Amino acid sequence: MAQTDLHMHSSVSVDGEVSPRGLAELCCQEGVTLAALTDHNDIAGAAEFIWRCAQLGVQAIAGVELDCMHEGTHLHLLGYGIDIANAALLHAVQAVHVLQAEAGLRLMDAVAALGIGFDREQVLELAGDGVVCAETIAQSALQMPENRTHPLIRPLLPGGALEDRPLVNFYWSVCAPGKPAYVPVDFMTAGQAADLIHEAGGVAILAHPGISISDMAVWDKVLQLPLDGVEAFSSYHTTQQAFAYVQKANASGLLISGGSDFHGRIKPDIRIGAVDWQGCESEATAALLDVIRRSR
């Protein structure tokens, strides 16, 4: 287990489970001494997380994870060391919230059109801040007996090929880009996301490229963005992938980061601090913290 985890989600994220305070307490329990809360398109939990971490002796970094697009590719950018009172950032996350709330209603219609049953009222009640996500729909749909024979649901049930993470796998197999219930959202461009992070005094890190970029030709275009670093170490990366991302980062003069992408029950196999930094933890985090300090 690592002492550093720079990619975690609280209940402020639409697909998170643990409160910001509870997440800080889990960090302490798991021996994490340097942590970043990086909720999806939201910074509402940052103050509570930092406050509780300070009480527990955990060094906390204010962070965010922004959804964005780059030439048709959906990317996530992590912002570290941001000013959580920055007006432009607050305006941007509110704008994304409005887009996602509207898209969530269309997502329910798209899933229903596939013949997958779910309780709309239950989904809306479960939805955090009125934003419906695929995992919330899955919570209801997987409880419905009439869905057990549906070809898109069967693999998610016990004994199925996707039973390990049924909630998030519902997203990947039914609602992700290219899947039958995909609903596009007009997210900001990756360049705009990086500029927004910089304007808020933070550093911009490309999150989990192993699941965001499948075409290596896209890499060259992404590396032309105003990035500060790459999340080389992730729960989703193999040892070989992590090594390749470290090499790419070093060749481009970029920082190296790492995090578990902890969410809670939607990714039950991912634990806080479950990041293999492959011996780079001290050097990488020292360099990252130095840049964060100098960017303030």
pLDDT single digits (tens) 174-229: 999 899 999 999 999 999 999 999 999 999 999 999 988 877 778 888 888 999 99
Backbone torsion region of residue 184, taken as left when φ is above 0, otherwise alpha when ψ lies between -120 and 50, otherwise beta: beta
pLDDT in tens, 238-283: 999 999 999 999 999 999 999 999 999 889 889 999 999 999 999 9
Strand (E) positions, 117-238? 203-206, 229-234
Q: Which pTM was predicted?
A: 0.94
Residue-range domain boundaries for the chain: 4-86+189-295, 96-175
Exposed (0-12), middle (13-18) or buried (19+): which is 110, by Cβ within 10 Å?
A: buried
Closest CA to 272 of 14, 48, 49: 49
Q: Is the pLDDT of residue 1 over 80?
A: no
pLDDT of residue 261: 96
Residue 68 is classified by DSSP as E
Fold of 4-86+189-295: TIM Barrel (3.20.20)
- Terminal C-alpha separation, the chain: 30
